[in-house]
Structure 1
Amino acid sequence: MYRWILSLSDFPSSFYRACFIIYASFLSTYHLPIFGKIDYLATQARLQELFIKYESSVVRVKATRQDLTSENKKRILKMGSGFFVSKDGHILTTGLLLNPERVWIEHKNKFFLTEVLGSDDLCNLTLLKTLEKPSQFSYVSFSNNKIETPVGSFLLGLTCALEFEIGPSIGLLQSVETSFGRNLFPTRMIRSSLSLGPGEVGGPVFDLNGNFVGIAHAVLPDLRSSFILPANACSKIRDGLLLSGKVDYGWFGITVSQKLNNENSSDIVIQTVDENSKLQEGDILLKIGSNPISERRDIVESTFFARPGTFVDFFVFREGNEMRIPVRVLSRPKSKQEQTKDDLIVDSNHSNSGKRDQNLRAE
C-alpha cells in the first residue's frame, strides 16, 4: 500500500493513475488542514511547556531612591524584569535605577531584598543577589558559546509587565543589527518583533528549543519591536560582575577609516595605532582572529569579546603581502559619559551618606 502511494510509475493503466491523482487531490484538500492544526497545537503546547519550565526563574525588580533634584524630596520608584542566573540567588537585570538606596525583587507574591554586586555601564546590565533565597525557584543557565538562531525563528519572552503576573510574549527574530542610526552598539543586537511595554525590559528570551537567546534590552515602540542582548554577551557580563563587580573590555588602540577600492567594495584602513603596537598606519585590515573585517562595526564586535592582557592575531595587507601580527589587547578607556556617571555617583554618595540609614529605616 505504501509503495502504491509513493510511486506513480507502478500503475499499468491510465485508469489507476487517474485514481491515484484523485486520491492525492483528496488528501491535499481535506487532510492538510488537519495536519496544520496538529502542528499549531504542537507549537502551542511547546510554548506552554517552556513557560512552565522557566516561569519560576523570572522576577520583578524594584529600586527606589530619593530624588535629589526635587525640592519636595520626592521618592523615585523604578521597576523592571529580571531572572535568576544561578542556584545561589544571583539575578540579571537591565535598566536599574541609578544609585538606588534599596533594591528588592518580587517572586511568587513574596518580597526579597537584594544587594547590587555590580553594574556594567556599557550595556546597562546589573547583577543582583538576594539576601535570602526563595524556597523554590529555577534559574536560567547559559554559557559564552555563541548560538546561531536563524532569522524567522520563534522567540518566547517571559516578563513582568507593570504589576501584572508573569506572562509570555511571542515574536520572531527579525534581524541582527550592529547600530541604531549613527550610534554603534557595543556588540551585535538581536532585533525581534517582541512588542514589550513598561516593566518588561530585563526579561529572558528563549527559542523553541529552550535555548536562552538573550535578555530583553531595549524597546522600539514605534516599530512594535525590541532589541535583545545576545546570550554570549550576557555571559561575559555576568561572569565579570560575579568575579569582580565590573566588566573588563578590550581595546586595540587603533582608529580606522573605510575607503573604496578598485573592486567596487571598501577596505578598512588603519589610521592611527598605539605607540607599542606592531601595526602600521595604512595597513588594510582583513581579519581579527577568525572574524573577517569588512566594516568598522566588525571591529566593535571583536573588541567586545577580547580580554585585556591577551594577544589577538591581526591579519593585514601591507605593501602587497598578507601578514599576521599579534596585538596585545589593552583595557578599554572610559568614555566621557561613563566618567560623568561615576562622578554623579560619587557626589550623590557624599551628599546623601548621612541620610541613607535614616531613610531606609523610615520606609
Structure 2
Amino acid sequence: MKLLRRLYVLSLVFVFVLNAVVFATCLPDIRSVAKKALPAVVNISTTQIVEAPSNPFGFGFDSNDPFNEFFKQFFNNIPVKRKIHALGSGFIISKNGYILTNYHVVRRASTIRVTLLKDKAVYKAKVVGEDPKADIALIKIKPREDLPVLKLGDSSKLEIGDWVVAVGNPFGLNGTVTAGIISAKGRVIGEGPYDHFLQTDAAINPGNSGGPLLNLNGEVVGINTAIVAGGQGIGFAIPINMVKSELPYLMKGEKVKRGYLGVTVQDLTSDAAKALQLKNIEGGAIISQVFKNSPAAKAGLKPGDIIVTINGQPVLSAGDLSYKVFTMKPGVVVDFGIIRNGNNMDIKVKLGRRPTSEEMAENITSIYKTPYGFSVSNITPQLKNKYDIKVEKGVVVVKVEPGSFAYSVGIQPGDVIVKMNYKRVKNIHDLKKIISKSKDKNVVFFNIIRGTTQIFVTIQR
C-alpha cells in the first residue's frame, strides 16, 4: 500500500513538472526580442517655439466687468514666445544614423535631440523626410560609429492573436518593454485620412509614439502611434508595410507620391450583399462616385461597381481599398476584380498621382492668396470635414508657402482665421477688406482657431 502511495505521489509530481515545462515552452521569448531591440531604440526630445498671449500683470477682471474686454484687447493679447518641450521614441534603421519616428513627435520642432539607449550618447538630429498624412517622419543623426539597427518585417503576415513587443520611452522612462498580442487589423480611429492601424493590447503610453512594434523574430511590424483616452489596454501602430512604401521618398527628402484612383466608395454591407443577391462575399467596396477625367473614369469603372479584389487580394472594406491604393505608386497598372450587374469582371487601371490638398481645395472653392505667404478659403462642408473645423464663420488656411512670413510664425493648413487686427473675419471678402484698409500692412495680428484652441499670431514683414 505504501509503495502504491509513493508511486501515486511521484506520478502527480511528474505530471506537474511536465505541464510546467510544456507551459514554459509555449510562452513567447520576450527576453531575446528585448535584448535584440533595445540598443536600436532611441529617446527623442524636441523643443518648439510658439507664440502665446501674455498677461504682464498676472491678474484680470471678472467676465462681467466692463474693463475685461479692454484688458484682454490691450494686454492679454500681447504675443510672447514660449518654449514647449516634448518626448517621443524612434528606432534606428541604418548604421549611419537614419531613424524612423512619428511625424507628430518632431512636427515644427526647432531642435531635435536623440539619446541612444546603449551608451546614453546625445546627438542633434534633423528631419530628412516627412509625411504628415501618414504620421511618419525620417530623421538623421551623425554617429561617431556604426549603430545597431532593427530589421523591417512584413506586417501583411500578421494575424490576430500573434504576440508582439512594444519598446519605447513612455513618460520619459527610457527603454521600457511591454508585450501583448495583435487584437485587430485595419482599425479606423479617425486619426487621419488613411487610418489602417494595427491594434494591440501591449501597453502604449505617452512617450511611446514613434517606437517600434516587433514580432517574435525581432522585426519591426509597426510604429507605435496612438492611444485611446480612457481606453486601458488599447494601443495602435502604423503597419510597417506602409512605411516601407514611403522610404524611397523620405530618404531623398521628396514629397511622398501616392496612387490615385479617383472614386468615392462605401462598404459593401451584409444587407446590401443580400439585396444584390451576392453569395460568398465577405467584404468589398461599392463605388458611389467616379470623378471626371480620373484614372477610374478612363478605365471604365462606374458608380455601382463593387470592387472585391485588387491584384488578386481580397478587398475587405472601403477603408481597405483606400489603404491599398494609398500604398501604391502613380503609374502602376492595377487589376481590379469587380462585380457589375451580378457579373464578375476584371478591369485594369493605371493609377494617377494623388492631388495635393491645395489642388483639392482649389477644386472645392475660390482661393485668396494673402500678401503674407498663405492662402485661404471660405469654410465649406468639405473643408470642415477635412480639418475637423468646429466654427461656422472665418476663413480656412489651405496653403502656406515654405519660407514665407506665415510659415516662420507657424501658421498651418487647417487654421481658421476669425479676426485680423481685432476685426472680425467671417469670409474672404472681410479679410480682403481689412487688409486693404490697414494703415500698416507690414505688422498684422491674427486670432486663429486651431482645433479647439484659440491662438494669437503676429506677422511682421
Q: TM tier, shorter chain?
A: 0.7 to 0.9
Aligned residue for 1:299, secondary structure, equals helix
Quote how far apart the aligned CAs of 1:321 are: 3.7
For 1:325 and 1:45, locate their aligned partners in 2 and report how far apart those are by CA, in whole Å. 44
Aligned residue for 1:74, secondary structure, equals strand
Quote how far apart the aligned CAs of 1:246 are: 2.8
Aligned residue in 2 for 1:279: 301
Aligned residue in 2 for 1:311: 333
Give the 3 Å change call, closer, same or farther, for CA 244–74 of structure 1 in structure 2. closer
The answer as to 2:246 corresponding to 1:263 is no
Aligned residue for 1:73, secondary structure, equals strand
Aligned ranges 1:72-221 → 2 under 5 Å: 72-94=80-102, 95-107=104-116, 108-130=119-141, 132-135=142-145, 137-142=147-152, 145-180=154-189, 186-221=194-229
Quote how far apart the aligned CAs of 1:315 are: 2.1
The answer as to 2:300 corresponding to 1:292 is no
Q: Output the TM-score relative to the length of structure 2.
A: 0.63
Q: What percentage of aligned pairs have identical amino acids?
A: 21
Aligned ranges 1:3-82 → 2 under 5 Å: 27=11, 29-38=12-21, 46-70=29-53, 71-82=79-90
Amino acid aligned to 1:329: L
In structure 2, list runs of 5 or more residues that go unmatched: 54-78, 358-382, 388-395, 411-461
- Confirm or deny: 8 A CA contact 1:201 1:219 kept in the other structure: no
For 1:206 and 1:219, locate their aligned partners in 2 and report how far apart those are by CA, in whole Å. 17
Q: Summarize deviations over 1:275-319 as a string: whole Å, max 9, x none.
A: 233222333323222222353123112212221111111222335
Aligned residue in 2 for 1:231: 240
Aligned residue for 2:319, secondary structure, equals helix
For 1:118 and 1:183, locate their aligned partners in 2 and report how far apart those are by CA, in whole Å. 20
Q: Output the TM-score relative to the length of structure 1.
A: 0.79
- Confirm or deny: 8 A CA contact 2:155 2:222 kept in the other structure: no
Paired residue total: 328
Amino acid aligned to 2:100: L
Amino acid aligned to 2:145: S
Q: Summarize deviations over 1:135-168 as a string: whole Å, max 9, x none.
A: 353111225x444222222221111123333121
Quote how far apart the aligned CAs of 1:133 are: 0.8
Aligned residue in 1 for 2:73: none
Aligned residue in 2 for 1:14: none
Aligned residue in 2 for 1:10: none
Give the 3 Å change call, closer, same or farther, for CA 60–26 of structure 1 in structure 2. same
Amino acid aligned to 2:197: M
In structure 1, list runs of 5 or more residues that go unmatched: 1-18, 353-363
Q: CA RMSD in A?
A: 3.2
Q: Summarize deviations over 1:222-256 as a string: whole Å, max 9, x none.
A: 22220011221121233321134332111100123
Give the 3 Å change call, closer, same or farther, for CA 24–85 of structure 1 in structure 2. farther
Aligned residue in 2 for 1:12: none
For 2:173 and 2:284, locate their aligned partners in 1 and report how far apart those are by CA, in whole Å. 51
For 1:65 and 1:211, locate their aligned partners in 2 and report how far apart those are by CA, in whole Å. 32
